[in-house]
Amino acid sequence: MLRKTFTLYKNSFSGLPREIWLISMVSLINRSGAMVVPFLTVYLTRKMGFSLIEAGWVMSAFGLGSIAGAIVGGRLTDRVGHYQVQFWALLLGGGMYFVLMQMETLWTIAVTTFFTSLVNDSFRPANMSSISAYSPKNLYTRSVALLRFAINLGFSIGPAVGGFLAATVGYKWLFVVDGMTCIAAAIVFRMAVTQKYEEKPEEKPLEKNETRVRFSVF
């Protein structure tokens, strides 16, 4: 059974470009440290002494930051490219966890949580965009599958390790490990993944009596 499973995954992901494997490894490192969010409500109520309603406000700030991060990340990816957005989102996102760890009042925690979520989730649009940059069209589906597999595997590791750390050495270590894995992922990304410059598609000239409509989130 295990051999069949191994053969299935081997056949599914064989032949993918080196950069796709490296980007997936970076995502695995990053998501393996994802342990603050799963335990944030527990941390706020048990460690910090906030009520469930107050913890709910903080989680709402996290959700809003996640939405804003997806918009900002997509916008920045269009302007400066997926490579720079991924690197800086990982590096600055890791630093934000160390800042969040120092916050003690409800509103400072909520505001910092919002910006932590915004910075970290700006990584996602750039990460998905990089698949198009490094993967041939005929391998795109399998490349996305490998990336999603790495992300899901990391998410299964992070909470398990986070629960162990919270029970043994304390909740503060969740922030330390989460921040360090983000920074480690940024370093690995910068050292291992080669930046690929993409040519922006040229806009076709307008036909007679034709107008071009532009939409912008800003």
Q: pLDDT tens-digit profile of 12-54?
A: 777 888 899 999 999 999 888 888 988 999 999 999 999 999 9
Q: How many CA atoms lie within 13 A of 157 on its CB side?
A: 16
Residue 211 banded pLDDT, cuts 50, 70, 90: low
Could you tell me if 80 and 157 are in contact, meaning their C-beta atoms sit under 8 angstroms apart? no
Query: What's residue 205's pLDDT?
Result: 54
Token pair of 136 as six digits = 């041939």
Average pLDDT over residues 117-134: 91
Residue 77 banded pLDDT, cuts 50, 70, 90: very high
Residue 4 banded pLDDT, cuts 50, 70, 90: low
Could you tell me if 55 and 47 are in contact, meaning their C-beta atoms sit under 8 angstroms apart? no
Could you tell me if 192 and 22 are in contact, meaning their C-beta atoms sit under 8 angstroms apart? yes
As a whole number, the mean pLDDT across the chain is: 85
Query: What's residue 216's pLDDT?
Result: 45
Average pLDDT over residues 182-190: 93
pLDDT tens digits for range 142-170: 899 999 999 899 888 988 988 899 889 98
Q: How many CA atoms lie within 13 A of 33 on its CB side?
A: 24
Q: Per DSSP, which regions of the chain are E strands? A: none
Residue 200 banded pLDDT, cuts 50, 70, 90: very low
Query: What's residue 155's pLDDT?
Result: 86
Could you tell me if 29 and 90 are in contact, meaning their C-beta atoms sit under 8 angstroms apart? no
Among the ranges 9-18, 93-102, 135-144, which has the highest mean pLDDT value? 93-102
